[in-house]
Structure 1
Amino acid sequence: MAAFRALLDLCKRRGFLYQSAEIYGGLRGAYDYGPLGVELKKNILNSWWQRHVYWRDDVVGLDTSILTPHPVLKASGHVDEFTDLLVDCVLTKERFRPDKAPTLEFISSKDTPGGRIPVEAPDKATAKAWQQLIQEQIAPGIQTTLEGKRIMLHVNSFVKPDAKGEGGRIDFVSASMPEQSISLEYNGYVEPNSNSPFLTASRPFNLMFKTFLDPIDPIDRVIQTATSQEQQNKSQGAIREAVDQVLKPSTVYLRPETAQGVFINFEQVTRTMNKRPPFGIAQVGKSFRNEIRLEHGIFRTPEFEQLELEYFIPPWESSHWFKYWRELRFKWWLEHACHKENFRQRDHEKNEMAHYASSCTDVEYKYPWGWGEVEGVAHRGNYDLTQHIKNSNAAFEVVEDEVRVSPSVMEVDECLIPTEKPARYVPHVIESSCGLNRTMLAYLCDAFHQVSEGNNKPPRSILRLHPRLAPVKCAVMPLTGKPEFMPLAESIAKSLRRRGWFTMVEAQKLKIGKRYYRHDEIGTPWCVTVDYQSLEDETVTIRDRDTGNQQRMHWRDIQRFIGDKLMDDEEL
């Protein structure tokens, strides 16, 4: 984690990431992307879009509204089903998801039959306050001791919960009667940061951000409805239901995924672009989720960007296309990686798949804190289109005079082929959903290297980003700050910028080696040095970031040299 902290420091110091609204204390989980962060995100997005739209004749793009009306997300199941379980710690006041929380940590003890549970506080003063809170309010009568920042809870016995998370129990030692116990229910997890077992029962928490598209302040309507004569003496639940009904016509959501915008435009895309399955619709855009726990910088945030592809297929070809996209997407990840061994695919177990999915494979990256999902490839079946047909009577059914099998398809499920003529079916969908923020973080972690300089010097940092992803493609460096070098340096930079490559002129009064190292730190693949010989024969030196190798060439050849290096001749 020390290396990860060094990477985050580099990102802030060099212009990849800033804390949003930092001058006002910041906003938890919100980040702004600086000049280099914007370029890195754009380059990742461009690589993805190029591969999945420009290189193919069966995928088109779409950009749908962020604001989504209630009926769309009601039909898709998000209003009722898009929830996580939420647990509060009554000691630390932290909220977390129980499925991501650790199990209880015990310390064996000679003095206590069942051992001791250490509760970790951030400092000694907090530990003392927590101990008082436990003894006086949370669990009066249990025996505790204070060891620096740790509160030790003395335990007589411990029973693990069953597979359903039920039946678990912790029997604490009573301070006044050690032979007796004070029992607490244990469901198999504790608060992640402190190891505290003092938790509320889990409850569902909808992850969507709700807002209102209405010229009238919705709070006024809430007050009017809740305080009306009709609602007096009713239960809180009944009042809440009445308020929801009043607000329902103006209720909209910030979309929790980009996919639903694609599904509800399916018929319009097929009609205007004359597309028939198999074909795909790609979309890049912001999504919003009211995450319970925000963590690891930009890994989990309430606002994030998605790279999503919905590929519509005849049902009888679904097995083939799921395997196809599963393989193709993983190939893209490895192509840009320094350490391919830190990327893997993991198939979902039946009990962890979304209710609409029949198969799902995650691409995971080994972050400093462990494996984390960066993309999911899922076979969504025809759930989404069918739901929107039921709720809107949309014309999403495909009608064909005769059944066709795509020439490239090697695996066909014949039992799903319609027998009537004309053939009618609702397409199945293979979805590739990739988080752009997590992708950026994964490639930054993958590229971050610390190189020892020896002689007790601190290590220097190098970002070995793939050249196509690197924010700055080239840095042009006049040997000194003398004005006679600048016209040629500017001409080189101008020629590269016109190719669409972010290029910087570095004319500071620093040794050339230090300027090289500054660009190694931000991942610049090539540095071009203009020196005295350049003024005589117009040749320059170009240096490679990863090898340190240098070669001499005419400055007009720099464009072709970099273009050849960036050329992507990988075939799909």
Structure 2
Amino acid sequence: MSKQTDDFFKNIVSHAKEYGFVFQSSEIYDGLSAVYDYGQLGSELKNNLKTYWWKSMVQLNENIVGIDAAIFMHPTTWKASGHVDGFNDPMIDNKDSKKRYRADQLIEDKIDRYEKDGKSDKAAQLQQDLDNALNADDLARLKTIIEDHNIVCPISGTKNWTDVRQFNLMFDTQMGAMADGAEKVYLRPETAQGIFVNFLNVQKTGRMKIPFGIAQIGKAFRNEVIARQFIMRMREFEQMELQFFVRPGTEMEWYNKWKETRLKWHLALGSNPEKYRYHDHAKLAHYANAAVDIEYDFPFGFKEVEGIHSRTDFDLKQHQEYSKKKMQYFDPEINQNYIPYVVETSIGLDRLFLTVFANSLVHEDLSTEEKQDSRVVLKFHPAIAPVKAAVLPLTKKDGLPEKAREIMAKLKLDYNIQYDEKDAIGKRYRRQDAIGTPYCITVDHQSLEDNMVTIRHRDSMEQERVAIDQLSSIIGERVSWTNLLTQLI
């Protein structure tokens, strides 16, 4: 990571804290590693991103419905899914720092450094070596790669490594009042299995016909060893997943369709297309016959934001075997019973949050010949902005606050609005720029006479004079979900 990109990433982290987007969890107790809390503005942005995803999946598609499955599931669920036996990461410890790392991520960081240093051939060869080792589950080879490329511990700076071994990522706990009779259960490491075990319930009660999808947003938990890259990798995180059930033999057609659909969804937020790329998996999961990641170019390199996987019939077939319940669908069009194939789209909400934040945070130089000036602005798409508009009386007297409060009382019924009367109007504009508010409404002395106010536009900083009774329709048109969703149809 260059100094410039490193500084930008530090700016993202500090800006997120300073303006109430993201805090370190339990910070007054020195924090909890790889766990974060969303503040007053962060929770608003996060909820808006969930709403955008839910509307695009469930509201726009008549053959997709949503559920909300429990976090706790019968422990046999995770035996059937393969998580009990196979949900592992290759871990390595540094004997000097006593820190534990994912071996593959240490190597990936080295690949990124090679690319940034202009050593693309070396990066490509290292990537190939890593892929071969992962495909062969060759843990000894992973350690050899780390040693051959002089990869050191970021903390101690030494190469005093242990052997690489597998580490299960599931959290477990006890369910039951009595310790002797308690049952071992797991915090779910993914939300997908809650969809699979409810496949028949949803299909029958919703009278769903193949192809159809089940969507879900929910928390998942993984005992990630490394706390790194802010909210990129956390122990408690949120997923937005779609499991789309299709007729066997049609899965690749749907896989390619969802691959294109999902990238289009990201770009509709106003992101730079050059910041995104597809990355096909070199090593497929045991349940997949095709897999691709949508990656975003973060300050620390291209990383996965969303995965699209063709999961075949593995999950439903496994649950049929372990539960002894038939997970079949009768297809009247071909007069056959079969276990459907599944195409999955899975996006990490926290990673999406970081993507949107990184894409929106801009430092603008507004200097002129007369004076030096600049601003920091979050250029969120208006539909997902945490605060839609701020109402600002020009002064704290002469009836202006009362008029501003009157305007706010009407607007807050439909939109999240802030009121601010402290400091000069220029400072207040800058504060709203820094939290991504699309519109500022200034109430001045003339407003008391003509019932008109000034709207300032965040991105252009242009101002226009409008009637107070038109404010709701003007703001509503500009922050409407329709502006986003129409780009997806």
Which TM-score band applies after superposition, normalised by the shorter structure?
A: 0.7 to 0.9
Distance 2:289 2:462 in 1: 51
Identical counterparts, % of pairs: 39
Letter in 2 for 1:62: I
Q: Decide whether aligned partners of structure 1 residues 554 and 515 sit closer, same or farther in structure 2, where only a CA change above 3 A counts.
A: same
Aligned pair 1:374/2:379, yes or no?
Answer: no
Deviations 1:467-511 (A, max 9, x none): 111111100100011150123212222222211x21001111x11
Q: CA deviation at 1:304?
A: 0.2
Among 144, 147, 167, the residue aligned to 1:186: 147
Residue 69 of structure 1 aligns to a residue whose secondary structure is: coil
Distance 2:392 2:101 in 1: 50
| Correspondence for 2:363 | 450
| Correspondence for 1:84 | 89
Distance 2:411 2:73 in 1: 42
List aligned pairs for 1:7-26, cutoff 5 A: 7-26=12-31
Deviations 1:25-57 (A, max 9, x none): 211111111110000000100000011001111
| Correspondence for 1:474 | 389
| Correspondence for 1:303 | 236
Instruction: Compute the TM-score of the two structures, normalised by the length of structure 1.
Output: 0.76
Larger radius of gyration: 1
Conserved? CA contact 1:476–1:528, under 8 Å: yes
Q: Decide whether aligned partners of structure 1 residues 483 and 74 sit closer, same or farther in structure 2, where only a CA change above 3 A counts.
A: farther
List aligned pairs for 1:465-544, cutoff 5 A: 465-482=380-397, 484-499=399-414, 501-508=415-422, 510-544=423-457
Instruction: Show structure 2 runs of 5+ residues with no match.
Output: 1-5, 111-128
Q: CA deviation at 1:168?
A: 10
Distance 1:386 1:371 in 2: 35
Among 308, 319, 333, the residue aligned to 1:388: 319
Residue 101 of structure 1 aligns to a residue whose secondary structure is: helix
Distance 1:557 1:250 in 2: 61
List aligned pairs for 1:276-425, cutoff 5 A: 276-349=209-282, 352-403=283-334, 422-425=335-338
Aligned pair 1:212/2:174, yes or no?
Answer: yes
Structure having the larger proportion of residues in helix: 2
Q: CA deviation at 1:539?
A: 0.5
Residue 232 of structure 2 aligns to a residue whose secondary structure is: coil
Distance 2:360 2:109 in 1: 35
List aligned pairs for 1:195-234, cutoff 5 A: 195-217=157-179
Letter in 2 for 1:61: G
Residue 316 of structure 2 aligns to a residue whose secondary structure is: helix
Residue 217 of structure 2 aligns to a residue whose secondary structure is: strand
Residue 337 of structure 2 aligns to a residue whose secondary structure is: strand
Distance 2:38 2:266 in 1: 22
Distance 1:102 1:394 in 2: 43
Distance 2:487 2:30 in 1: 46
Conserved? CA contact 1:96–1:191, under 8 Å: no
Conserved? CA contact 2:46–2:353, under 8 Å: yes
Conserved? CA contact 2:34–2:226, under 8 Å: no
Letter in 2 for 1:252: V
Conserved? CA contact 1:168–1:187, under 8 Å: no
Q: Decide whether aligned partners of structure 1 residues 197 and 44 sit closer, same or farther in structure 2, where only a CA change above 3 A counts.
A: same
Distance 1:169 1:202 in 2: 6
Q: CA deviation at 1:316?
A: 2.5
| Correspondence for 1:155 | none
Distance 2:199 2:281 in 1: 28
Aligned pair 1:258/2:168, yes or no?
Answer: no
Residue 570 of structure 1 aligns to a residue whose secondary structure is: helix
Give the count of matched residue pairs: 453
User: RMSD value over aligned CA atoms?
Assistant: 2.3
Aligned pair 1:430/2:343, yes or no?
Answer: yes
Relative contact order: is structure 1 or structure 2 higher (C-alpha 8 Å, sep ≥ 6)?
Answer: 2
Among 93, 98, 101, the residue aligned to 1:93: 98
Distance 1:430 1:502 in 2: 36
Aligned pair 1:464/2:386, yes or no?
Answer: no
| Correspondence for 1:41 | 46
* Segments of 4+ moved more than 6 angstroms: 167-170
Residue 404 of structure 2 aligns to a residue whose secondary structure is: helix
| Correspondence for 2:120 | none
Instruction: Compute the TM-score of the two structures, normalised by the length of structure 2.
Output: 0.88
Q: Decide whether aligned partners of structure 1 residues 469 and 96 sit closer, same or farther in structure 2, where only a CA change above 3 A counts.
A: same
Letter in 2 for 1:388: H
Distance 1:92 1:195 in 2: 9
Conserved? CA contact 1:62–1:282, under 8 Å: yes
Q: CA deviation at 1:400?
A: 2.9
Distance 2:165 2:143 in 1: 20
Q: Decide whether aligned partners of structure 1 residues 354 and 185 sit closer, same or farther in structure 2, where only a CA change above 3 A counts.
A: closer
Letter in 1 for 2:12: L
Q: Decide whether aligned partners of structure 1 residues 329 and 104 sit closer, same or farther in structure 2, where only a CA change above 3 A counts.
A: closer
Conserved? CA contact 1:307–1:436, under 8 Å: yes
Q: Decide whether aligned partners of structure 1 residues 472 and 82 sit closer, same or farther in structure 2, where only a CA change above 3 A counts.
A: same
Conserved? CA contact 1:448–1:463, under 8 Å: yes
Q: Decide whether aligned partners of structure 1 residues 537 and 76 sit closer, same or farther in structure 2, where only a CA change above 3 A counts.
A: same
Q: Decide whether aligned partners of structure 1 residues 252 and 456 sit closer, same or farther in structure 2, where only a CA change above 3 A counts.
A: farther
Letter in 2 for 1:524: T
Conserved? CA contact 1:209–1:289, under 8 Å: yes
Conserved? CA contact 2:93–2:162, under 8 Å: yes
| Correspondence for 1:73 | 78
